[in-house]
Amino acid sequence: MKLSPDSCLVNVASNRQIVARMSNKDWKKQSEAQKKLYKDSVKMALKLDSNDFIYVTTGKNDFYKFNEVYPSLSRGILAFENQGVDPWYAQAILLIESPGQLKKSSVGAYGAFQLMPSVARAQGLVVTKNVDERKDFDKSAYGAARLINRVCIPEAKKILNAHNIAYNESDLWFRLFVLHVYHAGAMNVRAVVNKINPTEGGQQLITAMWQTKAASFGNSSQNYTQLALASQFILHDMTNSECVRLFDCQETEEN
């Protein structure tokens, strides 16, 4: 997220272990045969199975514009609070979906909260050929909050209940689980959880989801909550570095 697009990281798909950092230009100029040979050498060096995947991830700090999205966080948080929805979700989604930008995804998601047309309509927004309320931040936030509250959280509970997994809605792992439903849809999350067949929740379930594919729950779905966590650390660093010291906190004696 902080890496520039002219660089890339070579990493192990199953655990995202970073193996090397290199120029994206140097990687791209290699032939497919050379790339395969390099990946095979990584597998051999790390004693990995031949079926394991090696990813080459390009830097995306040109997409994750945290300084630009930062001013909108309080607005999104307030919108979620007004709907009685945990404001943590507003912050997490705004930081990773379309930070500081108004772009339409390749599959049609649009707006600050990247809602699909049918999803937006189901949550009360107008999306037609001539009018698209997803463009309006407040209406998009309203739709996203309703989606979390009316669909994502209830579906997350259904999936976990089916496996007799206990949860607390304020736990970080449960929030991350709900984010997976928001991004991938309940059907795909249900498929990956069924494949894992967990006996308990917690971070171990989220970690297993990062390493498991099922239905349309693939690489981007695995990455989603990893990005959510990383963005929280980046935001924490940003707020700490930009704090202004207003008072001298040293104790003074009164005469």
Rounded CA separation 92/182 (Å): 11
Counted residue by residue, the chain has a size of 255
Name the residue with higher pLDDT: 14 or 90.
90
The helix (run of H) or strand (run of E) holding residue 12 is strand 7-12
Domain boundaries, the chain: 7-58, 66-240
How many angstroms separate the Cα of 220 from the Cα of each of 63, 106, 124, 151, 184?
15, 13, 27, 21, 9
Q: Which residues contact 70 (CB under 8 A, 6 or more apart)?
A: 235, 238
> What is the percent of the chain where pLDDT is above 70?
90
pLDDT at 100 > cutoff 50: yes
Q: How confident is the model at residue 29 (pLDDT cuts 50, 70, 90)?
A: very high
Which CATH code for domain 66-240?
1.10.530.10
* Range 248-255 average pLDDT: 44
Over residues 209-242, the pLDDT tens digits come to 999 999 999 999 999 999 999 888 887 777 776 6
